[in-house]
């Protein structure tokens, strides 16, 4: 398992200059002895550059630093990662996001994908399904 972590660290080390910090291995389910690779990163980070699973280990991340105003909500009453929050943020800060990613030609869809865990449409579908199942606080789709 540590070998997998070492491979992950060497492969994704270049992303450290973009704010990626590799925390290490963490056990998330002691009964099933399930481990994950824990990372942290800033909110404005191109999530498309990271896998969700690496060599059989899930990659779990947390956001370091402040969140944009669109995401500063009471997480018990509202779903913090609601799709419209990403859209509002991208619409408000597109130039800033392009500058941060050093991609002046970046489209709205590309920005949404980069910020919304790799695929905005996938995230939107998953959030809508979780809402229907009552597993997340309510939100409205635009």
Both structure tokens of 20: 């990626």
Both structure tokens of 13: 């080390």
Residue 141: predicted pLDDT: 61
Strand, coil or helix: what is 83?
A: helix
- Domain for residue 55, yes or no? yes
- Domain for residue 9, yes or no? yes
Residue 32: predicted pLDDT: 85
Count: domains in the chain:
2
pTM: 0.88
- Domain for residue 139, yes or no? no
* Domain around 10: 2-64
Q: Are residues 75 and 58 in the same domain?
A: no
Q: Are residues 59 and 89 in the same domain?
A: no
In whole angstroms, how far apart are CA 53 and each of 8, 57, 124, 139?
Answer: 11, 5, 20, 28
Q: Which of 64, 87, 103 finishes a domain?
A: 64
Q: Which of 64, 88, 112 finishes a domain?
A: 64
Q: What are the tens digits of pLDDT across the range 33-67?
A: 899 999 999 999 999 999 999 999 999 999 999 99
**pLDDT more than 90, % of the chain:** 82
Question: Between 33 and 82, whose confidence is greater?
Answer: 82
Phi, psi for 28 (deg, rounded to 5): -105, -15
Q: Give the pLDDT mean for 87-95.
A: 98
Q: Are residues 77 and 127 in the same domain?
A: yes
Q: Are residues 58 and 84 in the same domain?
A: no
What are 113's strand-pairing partners? none
- Domain for residue 137, yes or no? no
């Amino acid at each position: 398992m540590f070998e997998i972590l070492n491979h992950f660290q060497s492969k994704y080390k270049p992303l450290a200059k973009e704010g990626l910090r590799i925390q290490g291995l963490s056990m998330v389910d002691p009964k099933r002895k399930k481990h994950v690779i824990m990372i942290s990163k800033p909110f404005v980070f191109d999530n498309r550059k990271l896998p969700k699973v690496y060599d059989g280990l899930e990659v779990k991340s947390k956001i370091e630093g402040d969140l944009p105003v669109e995401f500063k909500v009471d997480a018990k009453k509202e779903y913090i990662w609601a799709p419209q929050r990403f859209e509002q943020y991208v619409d408000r800060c597109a130039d800033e996001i392009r500058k941060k990613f050093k991609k002046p030609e970046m489209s709205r869809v590309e920005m949404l994908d980069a910020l919304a865990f790799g695929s905005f449409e996938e995230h939107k579908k998953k959030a809508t399904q979780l809402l229907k199942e009552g597993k997340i606080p309510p939100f409205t789709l635009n």
